[in-house]
Structure 1
Amino acid sequence: MDHRQLTFLVALARERHFGRAAKACHVTQPTLSARLQQLEEELGTSLIRRSRRFEGLTPEGQRVLAHAHRILDEFDALRADVGPDTAPSGCLSLGVIPSALHALDTHLPALRNTFPRLRLRIRELATSALAQGLEDGSLDLVMGYTDAPAMAGYAYRELYRERPALIASPAHFSLPETPRWQALDQWPLCLLTPEMEHRKRLETRLAGHGLSVAPVVETNSITTLEVMLRSGVGVSVLPAHFGEHFTNGSPLDVRLLPGDGDRIGLLWHATRSPSRRLQAALSLWQSAADLT
């Protein structure tokens, strides 16, 4: 077995046609078919459902395909990290908490412009899943809460503070200029779901004031929260910057709540030697931070 056979399998699964897969891999169709048959013989199982044309992968083929994606990603990472070309290339896997998505506007264009050969894979995940990704190596870098319990032990670099605010549509609610935590229960609240780190922090703040809330809507989607706010279903407690980055309609009212906010930063595995891609991203973003 070699990586080319796995490349052919991935291409066939993507193109769903032997001829198109062969063209995408720059080989003849007989060559692609023969190499895939060799792979099946080496593994001792049928991977492809065939008749006069491609009909899909067998259950065993689907399992091999999942392994193929991981193996090819690792091969790509190895080639990018030890090749003679010093410019970073390959795929940088970045995980982001939903409330930090706006920061990508600032950081990703500079990374793409500086390192055009670098590919980015971005996943929006809860903090616990981000920590798991750093641990198992499926994520190179995380943008999230630097002091979250799940992130203990990881190296980090702070980017900004996330200030809590009451946010609502002025067409449906009139917010006070200086809202208080103690008055939060007077509003119908639309909040992130309890497993999200932002919601956990909100619950901790409320408990500090002797409060608990029963939201009318809970979702793990920032986009859904925006829809709820604009339709007048309720108000939300979110980072203040969302008032600027919700752009699908008229402006939302944003009122800062008391408190210093939470630290958002870049996190990565402290005990592993960083790849060339990760080093390049950290160096670039640190340089940008030094200029601000």
Structure 2
Amino acid sequence: MLKRLTPQAAPDRIDSADKLERVRALLDAGEPSLNDLAAAVGLSPSHLQRRFTARFGLSPAEYLAQRKLGTLKSALREGRDVSAALYDAGYGSPSRVYERGAAKLGMTPARYRAGGEGEQIRWSLLDTALGTALVATTQRGICMIELGEDPAALEAKLRGEFPRAALERVDAGRDEFLRPRLRAVADALAGRQARVDIDLIGTAFQKKVWDALMRIPPGETRSYAEVAAQLGAPRGARAVASACAHNRVAIVVPCHRVVRGDGSLGGYRWGLPLKEQVLRRERAA
């Protein structure tokens, strides 16, 4: 069970980096308030909030929330009882995490524990302007657009994400629910205007990055450092790059529009030739 922080006298001589590391250690050990943390390291709450966010890319509250969620997810993956996992992770009541379960875990804790058991996911393979795409959707929206040449490998990636979900393959165009979503994805991958409802599953910081990417206009790029600065985390370029690498919704969440500071392409989950091709197409439009 997580412990509450007992405020201690703030040390007078801790350099800035050590203070932030001390704050992170306190967050890893308990559930201190912002005022408790500020008192512990001798900073004002507002100054601590700014400095911590700039250093780690998350506010102290967001860091704590993600740590608790990570503890919960690990316990559920290990097969722990749901109620015990919730309380051990520091959730005083199961109601809050259940109310927001779909947004934070992509499904309720019980289903996450079971590898997606009970989650209904329809998927299909689609020939697109960018080659073969596996498109998968929950009732909430598209949860995966995976590109590749090998259909078996694409299916394996989906099953790896949701090993015990009810995965239903449907033929493109034969499912009233999936048909319009496949059409929207095909339009998006062809560079046409399209509205694609998506179901993004990730950490708070990853979702911030993905939201920022979707605000980059077609034909433009931003550097990893520029995106980090926009999110209030000027030292978070590597974290931004990691969030891009974990994006499972190709093109619609346009991680291809993020490049290195010197203008070179950087990395891309689906290969640099495709990244260059899509950027060239968008600039020419």
TM-score when normalising by structure 2: 0.26
Which structure is higher in strand share? 1
TM-score when normalising by structure 1: 0.25
Please identify the structure whose Cα radius of gyration is greater.
1
